[in-house]
Amino acid sequence: MKGLQGTYAFVTGGASGIGRAVVERLAAEGARVATADTSAGAPGELPLIADVSDEAAIRGAVAEAVSAFGGLDLIVPNAAVQLTGRDDRADRLDRDAWQRTIDVNLTGAFLTAKHGIAALLAGGGGAVVFVASPAGLYGIARGLDAYSASKAGVAGLVRVLAADYAGEGIRVNGVLPGITETAMNHWWMGDPEQRAAVEASVPLGRAAQPEEIAGAVAFLASEDASYVTGALWPVDGGLTAV
């Protein structure tokens, strides 16, 4: 893969799961990486504490990364929540659970893109790779209505931002991770019968590892994907192909 050596990246939600794998993969490909998370312990050269739903916090985190690196080339809005036990179908969904999900998953992605893209524009271009979800395009996550709606919004952002900034040297894409071995999914993956039933619906017959999602992010961030923008790339083992 070419195009990541010597680049500067900003990743949200980098302390665990897919975000952590993305940070580690980008660093392995030669990028210098700043991470923003609500908890300490994120990998990367510049770990920062920030809640993506707080505009002042995310603006400050991006500014700190720009100051440390001299600019940014890649933005990965990844931070997300899934309020297990609170998210539900619409007639049972509490407004507070809905709002918190939207605040982090959609508004947080927007704010990260807003301030991150400003940094990319100042540097003459770059790439944005959102972490979206098949649940935002298909009704496959019954009972997770807030999460699904928030990820549908992220998919919409990918498409419109790709159109908005293509003429200014910024590519915008999204990955759609399928069932992935992360803490977010352990509430059901810990049940062997439930896990087996879900994995049976995946043509490849298993859950993804976070590193497999990170590989797709790294490709879309690289010069190998120089003619790719506005794409929503399934990395789901064939889940949404059948």
CATH number, domain of 21, equals 3.40.50.720
Q: Is the pLDDT score of 130 beyond 70?
A: yes
Q: Is the pLDDT score of 214 beyond 80?
A: yes
Among 6, 122, 99, 120, residue whose Cα is nearest residue 53: 99
Q: Is the pLDDT score of 185 beyond 90?
A: no
- Give a yes or no: residue 240 inside a domain: no
Question: How many structural domains comprise the chain?
Answer: 1
Biggest CA-to-CA distance, the chain: 51
Q: Is the pLDDT score of 191 beyond 90?
A: no
| Span 197-210, average pLDDT | 93
- Give a yes or no: residue 91 inside a domain: yes
pLDDT score for 192: 87
- Give a yes or no: residue 30 inside a domain: yes
- Give a yes or no: residue 214 inside a domain: yes
- Give a yes or no: residue 87 inside a domain: yes
pLDDT score for 189: 77
| Span 154-160, average pLDDT | 98
- Give a yes or no: residue 242 inside a domain: no
Examine the residue annotation and report whether 147 is marked as an active-site residue of this protein: yes
- Give a yes or no: residue 241 inside a domain: no
Q: Is the pLDDT score of 2 beyond 80?
A: no
pLDDT score for 228: 98
Q: Is the pLDDT score of 19 beyond 90?
A: yes
What is the domain range of residue 215?
Answer: 8-235
| % of the chain exceeding 90 in pLDDT | 87
pLDDT score for 1: 52
- Give a yes or no: residue 113 inside a domain: yes
| % of the chain exceeding 70 in pLDDT | 99
* Residue in 8, 138, 147, 165 annotated catalytic: 147
